[in-house]
Chain A
Amino acid sequence: METGKNRHIDSQILSKSNFDHLSTDEKIDTFVQSYHVPQKSNKAEVFQRLQAKLEHQQNEKPVRNLRVYWSAAASIALVALLTTIYFYQSKPSQIVAGRGSHLDYTLPDGSVVNINADSKISFSESRFTKKRILKLEGEAFFSVQKGKPFEVETSQGKVEVLGTTFNVYSRNQDLIVTCLTGKVQVSAKSQTIMIVAGEKAELISGTLQKTSNLVDEKVAGWRSGEFHFESAPLISIFEEIERQFNVTITTTGLENRFFTGDFTNKNLTETLETVCLPMELDYEITNGNQIGIKPKKK
């Protein structure tokens, strides 16, 4: 106990005599050992402050979470209403008609677009007033106000008009433009043709062709729920029915068959009868929206 670096000396009884007997190292040790760090607040107080700050941070988070819920709810609502309302009410740039519904939309220039089921138009509102350009996926009927050139872009080609009414069908590999009034210029695969009222431009296996069969109002009859097909592939008829009634149709053995006729989008079974009866097909509806089609057994 007399010597040794780490011996502890009770500071309270450090007397003159034993202090004088300590070596420098021992004095240093004794003093340093006796030191303690001053504290402004005790540990519990600091922890309380820390806890308060953490809670403050956590209180902010639920707000953020709430916002996530709101936006999730909003998106769900949007998806549900996509068929009837516009994306971004203040600045519509994408207008979608879902499966089983049609949508009429008036563009900023006053031109009217009737959008068929499962189709979408998109455009930039700010730029549209300067240049009338919009994109189309699916089928739509346009009644264009006279004025600057009006362009419809599709994945297969482009339709340019001045002021007219015309129908654009752009699905899968198909592009069919039907002109009802005025003049329409169609470009696709670096080919350009001009069609006038009563004419039809069609992209058939990569070639743009003009067919001048008399087109009547029936082409755009879909706008009032009447569908007219002339020698159309049977499969595309059922695709149209899928879109109009929002159902899923599975077909077997319908390749290379064609259909000419009409149907309406008012009643599903009636429509199925209309197509299946003359084509000698059997249909079966399961779960309300699953339809199986196959040729009648002979």
Chain B
Amino acid sequence: MRIGSDKNQAETGLDQAGFEQLFDAYYDELQHFIFYKSGDAEVAEDIIQDAFLKLWEVRSTVRIETARALLYTIAANLFSNRFKRMKLKLKLQSTIVQDRTFETPEFEMEIKEFDQKLQRVISGLNENCRTVFLMNRMDNMTYNEIADNLSLSVKAVEKRMKKALEHIRKEIDQKF
């Protein structure tokens, strides 16, 4: 989801409508972003709410084209200022596991075990790799988009992705 960056509209300053547009477009992915870091949905909501409050405070200097990356920066800073890096356990919900019936109890067991293991492995990734990996796989952001949002080079995103994938593969293959 990208807000139209009108070429004619390169002026700074954000009005109420522009602000709402940004919230509508980026709230979800930002909430996910902090969740990937914190593993806590409520913390993520609070931080993103505060990030938007901060954005509103500086709205006169905000350009709509750069607002997305700015929001990521604000959110990441709010998070790192408030929370020490902690060991966390992501509790992602999977449609594979929930709300369905399984052919056999054994299969149900196998699926649930795989899910738990995968979540444990993802949780064990370092914060940066985990965040980039989940932004790509869960939010379907391209490497370019992630690089823009997190003010990173595409190379750095590739590196983090590679590290994340190698780690997950290795850990999963140990058992299966």
Contacts and interface: CB of A to CB of B under 8 A. Distances in A.
Chief secondary structure at chain A's binding surface: helix
A46 B41 contact: no
Interface in B108-167: 110-111, 114-115, 118, 122, 134, 137-138, 165
Given A19-B111, A30-B96, A41 B45 contact: yes
Given A36-B92, A37-B92, A54-B56, A27 B137 contact: no
Majority secondary structure, B binding face: helix
A96 to B, nearest CB: 39
Interface residues of B, number: 43
Range class of the A interface residue count: 20 to 34
Given A24-B169, A35-B94, A50-B53, A16 B27 contact: no
Contacts of A37: 31-32, 35-36, 41, 44, 92, 138
A88 B36 CA distance: 60
Among A11, A35, A41, the one with the most B-chain Cβ atoms within 10 Å of its Cβ is A35
Contacts of B53: 50, 53-54, 57
A171 B102 CA distance: 102
Contacts of A50: 23, 49, 52-53
Interface string A28-41: 11111111111111
Contacts of B83: none
A38 B103 contact: no
Given A28-B118, A35-B138, A47-B27, A12 B100 contact: yes
A256 interface: no
A28 B167 CA distance: 12
A46 B91 CA distance: 21
A53 B107 CA distance: 49
Interface of B: 20, 23-24, 27-28, 31-32, 35-36, 41-42, 44-45, 48-49, 52-53, 56, 91-96, 100, 103-104, 107, 110-111, 114-115, 118, 122, 134, 137-138, 165, 168-169, 172-173, 176
Given A27-B172, A32-B122, A33-B138, 5 more contacts: A36-B93, A37-B36, A38-B93, A39-B31, A43-B28
- What are the 10 tightest A-B residue pairs by CB atom distance, in nearest-first order? A35-B92, A11-B96, A11-B95, A32-B137, A16-B107, A34-B94, A34-B96, A38-B41, A37-B32, A40-B42
